[in-house]
Chains A and B, each alone.
Chain A
Amino acid sequence: MSHNTGGAIIGREWGLRGTIVIVFALLALFILYPIFSVLRMSLTPDGVFSFEVYRSVFAHSRYFLAIRNSIMLGMIVATLATTIGFLMAYAVERLRIPGRQFFRTLAILPIISPPFMFALSVILLFGRSGLITRHLLNLDVGTIYGLKGLILVQTINLFPIAYMTLSGILQGIDPDLETCALNLGARRTHAFFTVTLPLAMPGILASWLIVFVTSMTDFGNPIIIGGDFDVLSVRAYLEFTGMGNLPRGAALAILLLTPTVLFFSLQKRIMNRKSYQTITGKSARRSMLPVPAAATIGFTAFAVVLSVFVIMLYGTIIAGSFIRLWGVDWSFTLDHFAYSWDVGASTMGRTVFLALLSTPITALLGMIIAFLVVRRRFAGRHLMELLAMLSYAIPGTAIGIGYVLAFNGAPFRWSGTAFILVTAYVFRNVPIGVEGGIAALKQISSEIEESSTNLGANSSYTFRTVTLPLIRPAFFAGATFAFVRAMTAISAIIFLVSARWNHMTVLILAQTEILRLGAASVMSFALIVVVMTVIFVIMKVTGLERSQVFGTGAAR
C-alpha cells in the first residue's frame, strides 16, 4: 500500500498557490504564446484566416524539397549517429576497452562546442581549398557543401547524444544476463543478439528519434555547409528574415515543429517505460566475463579512429586560428587574434554576461517546477510538466520566430533587449533542469520532505532547507547545461540578437559568411575555452564529478 506519489495537500498555502500561478503564467507567456503567434501568423497571412500559405508551401517544389531534405538528412544522420553511439557505448560500458575515461571525455566534447564548429573545420579540411582534399591528396571529390558535408558534420556532432543515451541504457542492463546466456550454452555473438541487443532496443529507438529531431532542427551546420541542399530550418530563417515573408517563414517553422514535437513525445514515452531496466542493484558492478582479444582490438581500433578524427577537427580550428590565409598563405600569424579581439571582445563579454545571468534563473526555475510537479498535488500538475518539457521539443527556429512575433509590439515590446535573450535562454533550457530535478527527486523518498512539512515547515521553507540541498547535484547539472546551451545557442537567438546585444555564435557565423575563416576559428576556439573554463570552475566549486554534471541528461 505504497503512498501514491504526490505530496501534501495544498490547503491554505497562499505562497505555494501564488508560485504555481506565476509558473503557469510564465510558461504560457514565454512558451505557449510565442508558438501561438507563429501559428496565427501562418494562418492569417492577410489578416483573414486561410490555409493559403500552407497550400503554396506544398505547391512550390523549393519548399517541398526543403521538407523532404530535412527528413532525409535526419534519417541518415540518426541511423549513422545511433550506430556509432551504440558501438562506442558498447565498447566503453561492456567491453571495457582500455582508455575508457578518455573516450568518455571525448564523447562529451562535441556537446560543449559551438553549434557549427565541426562544419567550419570540415570546410577547412575538405572544402574548396581544403587541406586534405586539395593540398594533400589533390582530389576532386566534388563539393563538400551539401548533403555529404552535412551528414559528416551532423554525425560527428550528434553521435555523443546517442552515446550518452545508450551508455545509460547499457549500464541499466544487468551483465549477468549475458553471462547467464553464455552459461546456458549461447555463443557470445548469439548472446549479444538475443539478450543485450533486444534489451537495448527501446534505448536505440529513443536515441534514433532524438538524433533525428536534433538533426532536423539544427540550424548552425546547414547554414554554413548546407550549400544548395535546402533544409527547413534554414529556409524558414531565410524566408522570415531575408525575404521578409513572415507568414511563409512562420508556416515553415510550424512544419518543422510538428514532427519534432511528435517524435520527441514518442521518444520520451519510450524512455519513461522503465520495464527494460533490469539492474536490481545487487550485481550492478559485477565483473564481466573476459572479452575476446579480437573484440577488444577491433572496438578499440574503431574508437581510436573516431577519436583521432574528432581531435583532428579540433586541431584544425586551432591551426586555422594561426594561419594567415587557409589554402593560400600558410604562414603563421596572430592577426586573427587581434582582429577577433577588436571585433568580438565586447560581444564575447555580453554573451558570457547574459549566459551567466540566465544560468541560475534557469536552474532554480527548473528545480521549482520539478518540486511542484513531483511533490505537490494540484490541478494542472501534469499540464505544468508538459508545458515545461515542451520547449525541449520546439525547434529553436520556431521559438525565435515566435519571440519576434510575440514580443515585437504592445503589450510586450521587448525586441532588441537583453531581456528577450535571457528569457529565450531560460525557457529554452529549463527542461534540462526540470528533467534532472524530477529524476533526482524520484530518487529521494518523499517521506523526507513530508517529515519537514509534518514538523511545521510550509512549502517554501521545505524547498529551501530540504529539497534544494538534497537535489544540489541536479541543480548544478542543470545550471551547467543551461550555461553551455546559452553559450552555444544559435537557432533561436539569431532572430533575437541586436546590434547592442549580439551573440558570439551569430558573430562567428557572420565571419564565416564573409570568409574570414581565421577569425571564425579564433572565436570558436575562444568560445570553447570559455565554456570549458566555466564548467571546470563549477565542478571545482561544487565538488561534483563530471558524471554528475553530464549524466544522461546530456542527451538534449
Chain B
Amino acid sequence: MSRLKESNTAMEQPHLSLVDLVKVFRDGSGSETRAVDGISLDINRGEFVTLLGPSGCGKTTTLRMIAGFEQPTDGEIRVRGENISRVPPFERNMPMVFQSYALFPHLTIFENIAYGLKIRKADREVIRNEVAVASQMVNLVGLENRYPGELSGGQQQRVALARALVLKPEIILFDEPLSNLDAKLRIQTRTEIKRVQHMLGITAIYVTHDQAEALSMSDKIVVMNRGQIMQVGSPEDVYNHPANPFVADFIGNANFLESRITAVGDSSVTVEIGGSSFEIRAERVYDGAAVGDEVYVSAKPEAMDISEGPGDLMGRVDVNSFVGATTEYKVEFDGQFITVIHSNSGGSVKLFHLDDEVAIHLYPEYCRVYRR
C-alpha cells in the first residue's frame, strides 16, 4: 500500500482510501464485536463503488466511519492521501443519503435542501438558485413549500438526494437509500441516481445488501462479510469470477455440490459428482488442485437445467415455484438440495410436479471449483 502511494503522483492518487480500517464495538457487558476487521480499499475519482454484503457484514459501519459518525478503532481514512480520521463529521463535506431519508420534519422541502447552504452562510440569492437547480435535477419542482410528511416515499428520497447534491460534493454517501421504496420505484430511482452521479462526476460510495442494485449501478463492487472484504471487482468480474464460495453464494445464489477431484490435466481438472465425471477448465479451479482433494463445485441456478431424463444426475423435485418467466425448482439430489431456474420461454414448456424424477444437467463451463 505505501509503496503504491509513493510511486503515484498526486494526480493519480485514489480519491478515497481506506487503510487497514478496524472498528471494534464494546457492549455493556464488555464483550467485543469486530464490526470492521481490517479493510483496505482504494476508490478513484468519479467511481461508483458499492459495499455489498449481508446484514452485519460491516458495510454500514464502514460508511459511517467514512462519514465520521464512528471513530475507527484502528487504521486510516484518507482523502487524496490525507488522513481525515480526526476530522469531525460536519467538516468532511461528504453528504449522505440515509436509509430513512432523515429529512427534517419541521422544515419545508426548500428549507431542507437549503439547510447545508445556510450553514455555509451562502447568499440568499445563491441559495434560491442552487436549490432550484438541485430540485430540477431530481424532478422536485413545485414541491418546495411542502413538508416532508406530505410527500410520498419516492419524493422524500429525491429530497434527500437533492439536499446532498446541492452542496456540490466531491464524495457522496448512500446508506441503503432504496430499501424503503417498492420494487418498481426502486429500479426507476436506481437509474436516476446513477445518471446524476455520472453526470456530475461525483465519487459515490453506496451501501446495499441487494445484489441486483449493486450489479446494475456500480463501477466497482466490494463484497464484504464478517467485517472483511471478500472480493473487489467490476460487476461482471464479481458475478462471473467469484473469488470464493461466499461471493459465489451471495452474488449468484450458487449451488455447492460436494465433490472430489479425480484427475488434474494441463488445462482442466476432472471432478466426480454422483458417479459422473465433469471436466472443468483450470482457470475456474483454485490453484494447487490435486487428485483426491475434497471440493465444492459451485453452479449458479441458471448454469443448470432439468429435464425428464434420463441423465447422469437424477433427482426428485422437492419445491416448485412458478414465477412467470421462469420456474424455480428445488431438487433433492444425493441428500443435497439444488436450486435450478428453468426458463419458461419458448412454446410448450414442461412443468414438473412435486416428487417427479428429473435429470439435472450441469454446464461445466459455468461451474467453479473451491476447496471444501
Is A1 interfacial (CB 8 A cutoff)? yes
- The answer, among B86, B102, B119, B167, for a CB contact under 8 Å with A461, is B119
Contact B99 A470 (CB under 8 A): no
Contact A11 B104 (CB under 8 A): no
> Closest residue of chain B to A10, judged by CB?
B88
> Closest residue of chain B to A472, judged by CB?
B106
Is B228 interfacial (CB 8 A cutoff)? no
- The answer, among B64, B71, B96, B104, for a CB contact under 8 Å with A3, is B64
- The answer, among B57, B88, B116, for a CB contact under 8 Å with A12, is B88
Chain B residues with Cβ below 8 Å from A13 are: 88
- Measured in the bound complex, the distance between the Cα atoms of B116 and A50 in whole Å is 62
Is B235 interfacial (CB 8 A cutoff)? no
> Closest residue of chain B to A454, judged by CB?
B96
Distance in Å from the Cβ of A375 to the closest Cβ of chain B? 11
Contact A452 B56 (CB under 8 A): no
Instruction: Give the interface centre of A1, A455, A469 by most chain B CB atoms within 10 Å.
Output: A455
Distance in Å from the Cβ of A453 to the closest Cβ of chain B? 5
- The answer, among B71, B98, B105, B167, for a CB contact under 8 Å with A9, is B71
Chain B residues with Cβ below 8 Å from A445 are: 100, 102
Is A47 interfacial (CB 8 A cutoff)? no
Query: Given A448-B102, A448-B104, A470-B105, do A454 and B94 touch, yes or no (CB 8 Å)?
Result: yes
Interface size, chain A (Cβ < 8 Å): 27
Q: Mark B92-124, 1 if CB is under 8 A from A, else 0.
A: 111110111011111000000001100110000
Q: Mark B137-179, 1 if CB is under 8 A from A, else 0.
A: 0000000000000000000000010011001000001000000
> Closest residue of chain A to B115, judged by CB?
A455
Contact A8 B119 (CB under 8 A): no
Contact A1 B119 (CB under 8 A): no
- Measured in the bound complex, the distance between the Cα atoms of B96 and A137 in whole Å is 76
Is A456 interfacial (CB 8 A cutoff)? yes
- Measured in the bound complex, the distance between the Cα atoms of B160 and A445 in whole Å is 15
Is B89 interfacial (CB 8 A cutoff)? yes
Is A450 interfacial (CB 8 A cutoff)? yes
- The answer, among A7, A11, A465, A466, for a CB contact under 8 Å with B87, is A11
> Closest residue of chain B to A8, judged by CB?
B89
Query: Given A1-B60, A3-B64, A13-B88, do A451 and B120 touch, yes or no (CB 8 Å)?
Result: no
- The answer, among B55, B64, B91, B98, for a CB contact under 8 Å with A456, is B91
- The answer, among B56, B68, B88, B102, for a CB contact under 8 Å with A451, is B102
Distance in Å from the Cβ of B323 to the closest Cβ of chain A? 29
Contact A11 B88 (CB under 8 A): yes
Query: Given A455-B119, A457-B119, A470-B106, do A8 and B91 touch, yes or no (CB 8 Å)?
Result: no
Contact A453 B106 (CB under 8 A): no
Chain A residues with Cβ below 8 Å from B298 are: none
Which residues of A (450-505) have their CB < 8 Å from a CB of B? Answer: 450-458, 461, 465-466, 469-470
- Measured in the bound complex, the distance between the Cα atoms of B87 and A458 in whole Å is 12
Contact A458 B90 (CB under 8 A): yes
Contact B60 A450 (CB under 8 A): no
- Measured in the bound complex, the distance between the Cα atoms of B344 and A539 in whole Å is 66
- Measured in the bound complex, the distance between the Cα atoms of B87 and A13 in whole Å is 10
- The answer, among A8, A456, A461, A466, for a CB contact under 8 Å with B93, is A456
- The answer, among B92, B98, B167, for a CB contact under 8 Å with A450, is B98
Contact A8 B115 (CB under 8 A): no
Is B70 interfacial (CB 8 A cutoff)? yes
Contact B100 A447 (CB under 8 A): yes
- Measured in the bound complex, the distance between the Cα atoms of B57 and A386 in whole Å is 34
Distance in Å from the Cβ of A467 to the closest Cβ of chain B? 10
Query: Given A8-B88, A445-B100, do A454 and B70 touch, yes or no (CB 8 Å)?
Result: no
Is A101 interfacial (CB 8 A cutoff)? no
Contact B116 A455 (CB under 8 A): yes
Is A4 interfacial (CB 8 A cutoff)? yes
Interface size, chain B (Cβ < 8 Å): 43
- Measured in the bound complex, the distance between the Cα atoms of B70 and A7 in whole Å is 8
Contact A450 B91 (CB under 8 A): no
Is B67 interfacial (CB 8 A cutoff)? yes
Instruction: Give the interface centre of A7, A447, A452, A458 by most chain B CB atoms within 10 Å.
Output: A447
Contact A3 B90 (CB under 8 A): no
B interface, by DSSP: helix, strand, loop or mixed?
A: loop
Chain A residues with Cβ below 8 Å from B86 are: 11-12
- Measured in the bound complex, the distance between the Cα atoms of B103 and A7 in whole Å is 17
Chain B residues with Cβ below 8 Å from A4 are: 25, 27
Is B225 interfacial (CB 8 A cutoff)? no
Distance in Å from the Cβ of B326 to the closest Cβ of chain A? 32
A interface, by DSSP: helix, strand, loop or mixed?
A: loop
> Closest residue of chain A to B99, judged by CB?
A447
> Closest residue of chain A to B94, judged by CB?
A454
- The answer, among B69, B95, B106, B163, for a CB contact under 8 Å with A7, is B69
Which residues of B (270-297) have their CB < 8 Å from a CB of A? Answer: none
Which residues of B (16-71) have their CB < 8 Å from a CB of A? Answer: 25, 27, 35, 55-58, 60-61, 64, 67-71
Query: Given A4-B25, A8-B68, A8-B69, do A453 and B99 touch, yes or no (CB 8 Å)?
Result: no
Query: Given A1-B56, A7-B69, do A454 and B89 touch, yes or no (CB 8 Å)?
Result: yes
- Measured in the bound complex, the distance between the Cα atoms of B111 and A452 in whole Å is 12
Chain A residues with Cβ below 8 Å from B167 are: 455-456
Contact A454 B95 (CB under 8 A): yes
Chain B residues with Cβ below 8 Å from A457 are: 90, 115, 119
Distance in Å from the Cβ of A20 to the closest Cβ of chain B? 15
Distance in Å from the Cβ of A162 to the closest Cβ of chain B? 31
Contact B105 A1 (CB under 8 A): no
- Measured in the bound complex, the distance between the Cα atoms of B89 and A10 in whole Å is 9
Distance in Å from the Cβ of A34 to the closest Cβ of chain B? 31
Contact A1 B61 (CB under 8 A): yes
Chain A residues with Cβ below 8 Å from B119 are: 455-457, 461
Which residues of A (21-50) have their CB < 8 Å from a CB of B? Answer: none
Chain B residues with Cβ below 8 Å from A461 are: 119
- Measured in the bound complex, the distance between the Cα atoms of B33 and A4 in whole Å is 12
Contact B116 A456 (CB under 8 A): yes
Distance in Å from the Cβ of B259 to the closest Cβ of chain A? 34
Contact A452 B95 (CB under 8 A): no
Contact A454 B67 (CB under 8 A): yes
Distance in Å from the Cβ of A461 to the closest Cβ of chain B? 6
- Measured in the bound complex, the distance between the Cα atoms of B164 and A177 in whole Å is 46
Chain B residues with Cβ below 8 Å from A7 are: 69
Contact B90 A456 (CB under 8 A): yes
Chain A residues with Cβ below 8 Å from B120 are: 456
Chain A residues with Cβ below 8 Å from B27 are: 4
Q: Mark A411-433, 1 if CB is under 8 A from B, else 0.
A: 00000000000000000000000
Chain B residues with Cβ below 8 Å from A450 are: 67, 69, 89, 96, 98, 102
Q: Mark A246-269, 1 if CB is under 8 A from B, else 0.
A: 000000000000000000000000
- Measured in the bound complex, the distance between the Cα atoms of B148 and A448 in whole Å is 12
- Measured in the bound complex, the distance between the Cα atoms of B120 and A91 in whole Å is 56
Q: Mark B178-199, 1 if CB is under 8 A from A, else 0.
A: 0000000000000000000000
Distance in Å from the Cβ of A441 to the closest Cβ of chain B? 14
Distance in Å from the Cβ of A284 to the closest Cβ of chain B? 20
Which residues of A (134-164) have their CB < 8 Å from a CB of B? Answer: none
- Measured in the bound complex, the distance between the Cα atoms of B164 and A4 in whole Å is 24
Chain A residues with Cβ below 8 Å from B70 are: 9
- Measured in the bound complex, the distance between the Cα atoms of B27 and A7 in whole Å is 15
- Measured in the bound complex, the distance between the Cα atoms of B90 and A465 in whole Å is 15
Distance in Å from the Cβ of A360 to the closest Cβ of chain B? 20
> Closest residue of chain B to A445, judged by CB?
B100
Could you list some 27 contacts between A and B, CB below 8 A?
Answer: A1-B35, A1-B55, A1-B57, A1-B61, A3-B69, A4-B27, A11-B68, A11-B71, A12-B86, A12-B87, A445-B102, A447-B100, A448-B102, A450-B69, A450-B96, A450-B98, A451-B96, A451-B163, A452-B104, A454-B89, A454-B92, A454-B95, A456-B93, A456-B116, A456-B120, A457-B119, A458-B88
8 extra A-B contacts, CB within 8 A, seeds A448-B103, A458-B88: A1-B60, A4-B27, A8-B69, A8-B88, A9-B70, A10-B88, A445-B100, A451-B160
Q: Ordered nearest first, which 7 A-B pairs have the shortest CB separation?
A: A455-B116, A11-B88, A447-B102, A451-B102, A9-B71, A456-B119, A1-B56
